[in-house]
Amino acid sequence: MKTAILYHKELERYSFGQGHPLCADRFERFLSFFSSRCPSYKSSFKLIEPEPVTDEILELVHSRDYITAISQASEGKILPDISRYVSADNLNPTTGYVPLGIEKGARIIVGISLSAGELLLEEESKNTIGIGGGMHHAKPDYGEGFCFYNDVAICINNLRHRYNLKRILVLDTDAHAGNGTKEIFYHDPEVLFIDIHQDPRTLYPGTGFISEIGSGTGEGFTVNLPLLPGASNEAYRYLFQEIIFPLSDEFKPQVIIRYGGSDPHYLDKLTNLGLTLEGFRMIGQQVRDISRQHTQGKSIDLMLSGYNLTVLPFAWSALISGLLDIEVDLTGLREETAPSIDSRLKETKQMVEELKEYLKRYWRCMN
């Protein structure tokens, strides 16, 4: 069975203007790189172009009031109270307004993640890869961090609604903490949200501490794994071994969603983590191992971030290469200045010990 890559030729509508860190040419750049570097591209993958989603789908997570405001602002209407709905970093830095047409791009991205979920559950694709997915800073009534609609949360709520799922594992490997996704599922025991990110004291959004473990019936189902700047491949590997594998084995997910692009790479321009391409490949492999254990090798994978455009196609491809166990030619990226292999491993072990103290009330495997 071929793996579906969800992609849309109008993804470039998701643009904050020329020179912005979240530039829109990333999508095309990745696809042309990957298709030329993966020898089995034609035989292993099929490209699928989903429809932009309707209001009804957006309302699985967002309020009608918010959707209306973002739609109108994106069509050029001047809303005096726009700061109620979006932070300044969701505006075009040149014009000071919500970028024209970006809302259509956001609906396309939600369509991509929605289809990635449905194709997997309908067994039309063993794994699905959504290009552009992972808008993890968007909240039900507020857009920030370059994100308007939380495609991940919409995908999850749609899957639960349609297929009556009760245990969904979400692994956020983006360098920034997924504050929007966390908030949406903070009280929810059906979504185990595990988030690896750079220490929130040193990076936006400033949340994602180990003490944030969920609330009410969702207590214990939010797991934050903050890493110090420079954290290496081995620090990541340790998190999988000590936290992510044991929790997955106890939770027994019915669906696995991983998202996050290339911004944990050590050469990324907005962040300070320490992964190399080998680390991205390792993350893909770990997700493959978890999915073999629990979901017949199936998972949903979404990619968006990355603020070093040279690194981006290499790192996204390394993730896919590990996830699917396929050959991709990753030569050509110079990584001689990477942090040492065990950079921040000691501090990571310490963080894990402290985190286990928070989690052991809820999980046998954390004792």
Q: Collapse the DSSP code of 326 into the 3-class scheme (helix H, G, I; strand E, B; otherwise coil) and give the result.
A: coil
Rounded least distance, CB 283 to Zn ion, Å: 14
Q: What would the DSSP string read from start to end of 48-109?
A: E-PPPPPHHHHTTTS-HHHHHHHHHHHTT---TTGGGTB-GGGS-TTTSSPPTTHHHHHHHH
Q: Choose between 144 and 174: whose C-beta lies nearer to Zn ion.
A: 174
Q: How far is the CB of 128 from Zn ion (least distance, A)?
A: 21
| CB closer to Zn ion out of 50 and 306 | 306
The active-site residue, picked from 8, 136, 137, 294, is: 137
Provide, rounded to whole angstroms, the least separation between the CB of residue 176 and Zn ion.
Answer: 4
Q: How far is the CB of 224 from Zn ion (least distance, A)?
A: 15
For the chain, the straight-line distance linking the first and the last C-alpha, in angstroms and rounded, comes to 40
User: In whole angstroms, how close is the CB of 205 to Zn ion at the nearest point?
Assistant: 10
Is 62 one of the annotated active-site residues of the chain? no
- Strand 300-303: give its sheet, edge to edge: 45-48, 3-6, 128-131, 300-303, 255-259, 168-172, 191-198, 222-227
Report which residue's Cβ sits closest to Zn ion: 176
| DSSP secondary structure code for residue 12 in this structure | G
**Both structure tokens of 278:** 């080998």
DSSP 8-state assignment for residue 365: G
Cβ proximity to Zn ion, 163 vs 204, nearer residue: 204
Residues in contact with Zn ion by the rule CB under 5 A? 174-176, 263, 305
Nearest one of 108, 151, 126, 152 to 45, comparing CA atoms: 126
Q: Which is nearer to Zn ion, 17 or 21 (CB)?
A: 21
Q: Are strands 3-6 and 45-48 parallel, antiparallel or unpaired?
A: parallel
**CA 170 distance to own-chain centroid:** 9
H/E stretch holding 163: helix 151-163
Nearer to Zn ion (CB atom), residue 156 or residue 203:
203
Given the complex with Zn ion, which of 174 and 188 has the nearer CB atom?
Answer: 174
**DSSP one-letter code for 275:** B
| Helix, strand, or coil (residue 285) | helix
- Judged by DSSP in three states, 323 sits in helix
- Smallest separation, CB 203 to Zn ion (Å): 9
Q: Which helix (H) or strand (E) holds 162?
A: helix 151-163
Active site residues: 137
